[in-house]
Structure 1
Amino acid sequence: MPDVTLVEVGPRDGFQPIGPFIPTAEKLAIIQGCVAAGLTRIEAGAFVGASAVPQMADAEAILAGTLALPGADPQMLVPNARHARRAIAAGARHLVWVISVSEAHNRGNIRLSPAESVAEFTALLPELEGIRLRMNIATAFDCPFTGRVAPEDTLALVGQLAALRPDAEYGLCDTTGRADPAHVAELAAACRASFPRVAGWAFHGHDTYGLGLANIMAAHGAGIRVFDAAIAGLGGCPFAPGATGNVATEDAAWMFARMGLSTGIDLGALRPVAERAARIPGGSPGGRVRQALAARPAHLAA
């Protein structure tokens, strides 16, 4: 087992704000490259309305293609019961269910209040038997419309969901990228202390203000060992104005390797995949490691 797990969310969170449609074959080629480099957990896409997020219109094909890759563990994001049923019918066995703490963001994202989302999730529970779950707690730290989110509000939502599925993994999401390391450390520690029966915790950050890696380290210091990252630093929530890309997977992999912590990722194999993703038309790549490694002599490339 690696010391930390990086979940590759580029094919979903990284691709979803890109305007020009990325050919399905290109998406699958990048996913295949990620898996070959050691990124076995892949957030391959989302089952959402094609009118709301056109880039995710090929979710069924992407799921089928990723399931065919040896060693791949594709997880598919779903915002409600209708799309969860679509994903399960298409063969998904690992879902990412997203609910926002912020009512304004949840309504803007899926046209439901958080309470209505919880009720819908509760009603669907019998159909989720045997399905692995990541519960993404969006706007856990900050809302693009109302600002900083009170920690007690995040804890209340996690508590409702953890009572229903304590076996799920819970992802604390810095949707806007406005969280800071102290905020991340405090909330992560409070969640882990308040809900000891929860099977696992993850952190999903954005690098909007350049604090992505610092926030990952704060979450790590609080005991979290699963982190979302996007190849080439692509991404940004379409429903969070101003939120830019995720932490670049290659940056997080390099940082942990430099610290002597294993991720199971071959950075040499990942780098050309990241460079390919950075060239996608319409994307806004981020991160530093690609350029830093390209500028170094070959014998110093690591």
Structure 2
Amino acid sequence: MTATVDLVEVAPRDGFQPIGPWIPTETKIATVRRLAAAGLRRIEIGSFVSASAIPQLRDAAALVEAAAAIPGLRPQVLVPTAKRAREAVAAGARFLVYVLSASEAHNWSNVRRPVAESAEDYARMLDALPADVAVRINLATAFDCPFDGRMAVPPVLDLIGRLAALRPDVEICLCDTTGRATPDHVAQLASAAAARCPDVAAWAYHAHDTYGLGLATTYAAYQAGIRVFDAAAGGLGGCPFAPGATGNVATEDVVWMFERMGIPTGVALDALLPIAADVAALPGASAGGRARAALASRGACPVPEAAGAAAKAQA
């Protein structure tokens, strides 16, 4: 097992998108800057989608421009179609996250077409992309669908295989869209996917915490070999097209867990906690997570004791 993990902060996209009251663009940019200053080097800053479908994300182009000026930041934007990918690239985006669902019902709900059409559209997007644009696939409902229920592993593996064959040098993220995945299911799919598609550049995991299993499934993914993890400051989130889904696993909880285990995240927890508190307090936000309250009750925001402390005690 490698000694570090790579965290992808998704609050500015997945966390903000279900919030009704408009969040000023200046507030979003300031939040991205603060998150980057806390050590988060990958941030999903927005999405190029229909402004009528998700009004909160209509300022994605402004966020792309602002993020480009933040030293050391690798911003990414979500796109649901090749058409939106062209818009994102034209706005200056250089890391695209193409989203499609493993389940037919959710893909229809999310992008109004069959999964096969989304896969074909993804292939067209790849053919048209400039060479300097990185790509990631977000495979929504990889474990559970709000309409169809638990997803069987074999058909999801078949879809992953078809997508990976189109271009293996991408990152593929297995998404627990509803928060109903269990640790054993996550471990099974993650292990099987890596064995089925050994040439994939990297694997990622996206957890929601609807049933309080976000950290448990994140750790299960880690044990299965995944080293890239999505999380949202303040535990914000909730998919507008997945009824009942609540927020993402909280970034501060994930940082605390891994650092406590002696696995570096590169994120300063004491700098992250005030940001998480601020975004959790946004009007209309649906917040989650446990670390903020636990650390606040101690009157401090310490970095968790890690494996180094145990080693020192044994010396």
TM-score range, shorter-chain basis? Answer: over 0.9
Aligned equivalents of 1:76, 1:265: Cα separation in 2:
21
Match 2:198 to one of 196, 199, 203:
196
Cα distance in 1 between the residues matched to 2:299 and 2:163: 50
Q: CA deviation at 1:133?
A: 0.8
Higher RCO (C-alpha under 8 Å, 6+ residues apart): 1
**Corresponding residue SS for 1:203:** strand
Please, which runs of 5 or more residues in structure 1 have no aligned partner? none
Query: Structure 1: how far apart are the matches of 2:264 and 2:147?
Result: 38
Residue 15 (structure 1) aligned with residue 16 (structure 2): yes
* Alignment correspondent of 2:307: none
- C-alpha distance in structure 1 between counterparts of 2:268 and 2:290, whole Å: 17
Whether the 8 Å contact between 1:11 and 1:43 is mirrored in structure 2 is: yes
Q: What is the deviation of 1:63?
A: 1.1
Report the residue type matching 1:144 in the other structure: P
* TM-aligned CA deviation for residue 5 of structure 1: 0.8
Compute the displacement of 1:299 (Å).
Answer: 8.6
- Alpha-carbon offset, residue 223 of structure 1: 0.3
C-alpha displacement at 1:109, in angstroms? 0.5
The reply on whether 1:119 has 2:116 as its aligned counterpart is no
- Structure 1 residue 238 and structure 2 residue 240: aligned? yes
Partner of 1:95: 96
Contact 1:122/1:164 (CA < 8 Å) preserved in 2? yes
In 1, Cα distance between the equivalents of 2:301 and 2:7?
Answer: 26
1:71 deviates by 1.0
> Which secondary structure does the structure 2 equivalent of 1:201 belong to?
strand
Secondary structure of the residue aligned to 1:98 is strand
Aligned to 2:173, the other structure's residue is in SS state strand
Cα distance in 2 for residues equivalent to 1:91 and 1:120:
21
Instruction: Give the structure 2 partner of residue 59 of structure 1.
Output: 60
> Does structure 1 retain, via aligned residues, the 8 Å contact 2:270–2:301?
no
Q: What does the per-residue CA deviation read over 1:180-204, in whole Å, with 9 as the maximum and x for residues that have no partner? A: 0000000100001111011100000
How many residues end up aligned between the 2 structures? 302
Instruction: Find the aligned partners of 2:171 and 2:32 in 1 and give their Cα distance.
Output: 22
Counterpart Cα distance in 2 of 1:110 and 1:299: 41
Q: Is the 8 A contact 2:268 2:303 kept in 1?
A: no
Q: TM-score, normalised by structure 1?
A: 0.98
State the alpha-carbon separation in 1 of the partners of residues 11 and 288 from structure 2.
Answer: 12
Matched with 2:34 is 33
The Cα shift of 1:301 comes to 7.0
What RMSD, in angstroms, separates the aligned Cα atoms of the two structures? 1.3
Note closer, same or farther for the CA distance 1:170–1:300 as it changes in structure 2 (3 Å cut).
closer
The alpha-carbon deviation at position 6 of structure 1 amounts to 0.8
Partner of 1:183: 185
Change in 2 beyond 3 A, CA 1:143/1:299:
closer
What is the letter of the counterpart of residue 38 of structure 2? A
Runs (4+) of structure 1 moved beyond 3 Å?
Answer: 297-302
Q: 1:167 to 1:301 in 2, by over 3 A?
A: closer
Q: Which residue matches 1:143? A: 145
Letter in 1 for 2:207: G
Distance 1:47 1:222, change over 3 A: same
Cα distance in 1, alignment partners of residues 40 and 23 from structure 2: 21
Mapped to 1, the partners of 2:69 and 2:85 lie a distance apart of 21
Deviation at 1:2, TM superposition (A): 6.4
In structure 1, distance between residues paired with 2:8 and 2:246: 18
Shift of residue 45, structure 1, vs aligned partner: 0.3
Quote how far apart the aligned CAs of 1:297 are.
3.9
2: CA distance, partners of 1:257 / 1:176: 26
Distance in 2 of aligned mates of 1:104 and 1:266: 40
Distance in 2 separating the partners of 1:62 and 1:243: 26
Secondary structure of 2:181 counterpart: coil
1:300 positional shift = 6.1
Return 217-226 or 130-139, whichever deviates more.
Answer: 130-139
- Report deviation, 1:122: 1.3
1:298: Cα distance to partner?
Answer: 3.7
Shift of 1:96: 0.3
Shift of 1:130: 2.6
CA distance in 1, matches of 2:223, 2:126: 33
Equivalent position of 1:285 in the other structure? 287
Contact (CA 8 Å) 2:295, 2:301: kept in 1 or not? no
Residues of 2 paired with 1:124 and 1:7: CA distance?
Answer: 23
Structure 2 residue 209 is matched with structure 1 residue 213: no
Between the aligned residues of both structures, percent identity stands at: 60
Corresponding position of 1:108: 109
Partner of 2:231: 229
CA contact (8 A) 1:203 1:216 kept: yes
